[in-house]
Amino acid sequence: MKMPVPAVGCESEEELQARVVRGPLPRHVAIIMDGNGRWAAQRNLPRVAGHHEGIKSVREVVTCCRELGLAGLTIYAFSAENWRRPMFEIQELMMLLELYLKRELSTLMERGIRFRTIGRIERLPASVVEWIRRVERETASHQGMTLTLALSYSGRSEIVDAVRRVVSDVQAGSLAPSAIDEDLLEQYLDTHGMEDPDLVIRTSGECRISNFLLWQMAYAELYFTKTLWPDFRRRDLLAAFLDFQQRERRFGRTGEQLQGRAG
């Protein structure tokens, strides 16, 4: 039986990190950033102020995941449903995204981070798409960690698009229907070649997955925290990792089977 690990107390970030690195870390973490608007409202600021502050959390989380040697970090930055937001807010988010790409390219180069995107990128403004392609191109050979931004992304649309491509290949005669299985469908998803997330974090207290990585999170551990995204920093990420280390990932097996395997 696993011994309960004491909750995160008033220990320093260094002590917390030292505890975290003693246990198994997730290889791929996916994050639903939420609560930027509420963070701003609590301070009588416009919603976009929350997005500006949220960028600082993105930087801190990327840095921490890279330092801890994770293979992947995927961030839900703009959902397909977010196109329903007021035009002003969408424009501000696009501007922030472009700024982020311009500013962070040198950091991604220095730290060996590969950048990629998932979602219907072609819907984004042309200048943002140009920057995305440039950063993807320039970091394509990096092996350190893959940072994926989900932009104009919908898990259901991703699956629909994949099915369309499968059908098109079947009709063209290059794919036999009998060859269609889970591994094959995966190759048609935006995330092809990427490991499934082990841990999915959502901030702001909402306990739903909002059309994010529907296929890929089949076996992910889910972690919900009340912390609003702009307040979510290294310490909060480390607390999520500690919580992850308490989970018993059985993948359909029994606890006894796992103990037998371990012993």
User: Which residues are identified as catalytic?
Assistant: 34, 82
Taking the CA atoms of 55, 217, 157 and 130 in sequence, report the sign of the dihedral they define: positive
Burial 204-225 (b: 16+ CB within 10 A, else e): beeeebebbbebbbeebbebbb
User: The dihedral of CA 17, 68, 36, 76: what is its sign?
Assistant: negative
Q: Could you say whether residue 119 binds ligand FPP (CB under 6 A)?
A: no
Nearest-approach distance from CB 58 to ligand FPP, in angstroms = 5
* Interaction mask 78-97, ligand FPP, x per CB under 6 A: ----x----------x--xx
CA dist 34 and 51 (Å) reads 10
Distance (Å, whole) CA 65 – CA 234: 9
With CB under 6 A as the contact rule, the residue among 16, 29, 31, 33 that binds ligand FPP is 33
Beta strand extents in the chain (DSSP E only): 28-32, 72-79, 113-118, 145-153, 199-202, 221-224
The region of 18-26, 47-55, 128-136, 156-164 touching ligand FPP under the rule CB under 6 A is: 47-55
The answer to whether residue 37 forms part of the interface with ligand FPP (CB under 6 A) is: yes
CB of 51 to ligand FPP, least distance (A): 5
In the complex, which residue's CB is closest to ligand FPP? 37
139 is an interface residue for ligand FPP by CB under 6 A:
no
Smallest gap from Cβ 178 to ligand FPP, in A, equals 41
Query: Which of 37, 155 has the CB closer to ligand FPP?
Result: 37
Binding of residue 217 to ligand FPP (CB under 6 A): no
Position 224 contacts ligand FPP (CB under 6 A): no
Does position 59 interact with ligand FPP (CB under 6 A)? The reply is: no
Pick from 19, 25, 27, 38 the residue near ligand FPP by CB under 6 A: 38
Residue whose CB is less far from ligand FPP, 119 or 188? 119
Q: Where are the beta strands (DSSP E) in 41-191?
A: 72-79, 113-118, 145-153
Tell me: does residue 36 bind ligand FPP (CB under 6 A).
yes
How far is Cα of residue 139 from the mean position of the Cα atoms in its chain? 18
**Cβ 62 to ligand FPP shortest distance, Å:** 9
The upper half-sphere exposure of residue 46, i.e. CA atoms within 13 Å in the direction of its Cβ, equals 7
Q: ∠103-106-110 over CA atoms, to 5°?
A: 145
Q: With binding defined as CB under 6 A, does residue 100 bind ligand FPP? A: yes
What the block records as the tokens of 214 is 């529907």
The residues binding ligand FPP (CB under 6 A) are 33-38, 51, 54-55, 58, 75, 77, 82, 93, 96-97, 100, 149, 204
